[in-house]
Amino acid sequence: MTMIQITASDGAGTFDALLVEPKRKPAGAVVAIQEIFGINDAMRATCAWLADMGFIALCPDLFWRQERNVNLTDRTKAEWDKALALMNRFDQNVGIEDLKTALATARALPGCNGRAGTVGYCLGGRLAFMMAERSDADVNVSYYGVGLDSLLGDLGRVAKPLVVHIADEDKFFPAEGRAKVVAATKGHKLISTYVYPGADHAFARIGGMHGDARSATIANGRSAEALVAALG
């Protein structure tokens, strides 16, 4: 694992990104999109998992405009309070531009085969859904994104495969909103939406408090298949 610097497209400066490389190249690249806790141990483990599958993994620091290199857990109220404050101040539209820059950087990395996608969790799950609508990523995977029902108006812009994982007991995403996402994406030739019964938000967070091994294993398998099909 190493940290690289990426220059923001708006001239605001540079931001860090965790880079984890696979044993063999050329390989496709995956931009791993952080939760509200920054590039923490869970995201490092996620990048290691992606690299073990044979992908170049790149996880950009999305909160850098507020505070660089945030590294929090889901274990204490103080960390939750800080993470939620960072999320509430985070400009998602600017974050998408940083993610597009990270995607272009990933494609240009030595050993990349020119294909790149995203995998996002929580806040990152929402951003991965937005990347499917606003970027040229070759594939996007969204884990328990919140408020996805507010993004349904742009579904017509999805031009590459999008995998959506929804927790059926997500405390941060009301059932009515989840149902709208399921209904709106049903039958879309490029979108695969899966609901995981009994699973709570963050069911696939590595080392998280609400992990659900069964749901995570099934979801991760579906994600792996989509990534391999799109990225090689």
Q: Which residues are catalytic?
A: 170, 201
Is the C-alpha dihedral spanning 97, 101, 102, 107 positive or negative? positive
Rounded Cα distance between 157 and 88, Å, is 26
Please answer whether residues 99 and 107 qualify as being in contact, where contact means their C-beta atoms are separated by less than 8 angstroms. Answer: no
- Could you tell me which residues come within 8 angstroms of residue 95 by beta carbon, excluding any fewer than 6 positions away? 62, 127
**What's at 67, amino acid-wise?**
E
Is the C-alpha dihedral spanning 3, 7, 9, 15 positive or negative? positive
**What's at 38, amino acid-wise?**
G
Structure tokens at 204: 């696939």
Distance of CA 120 to the CA centre of its chain: 1
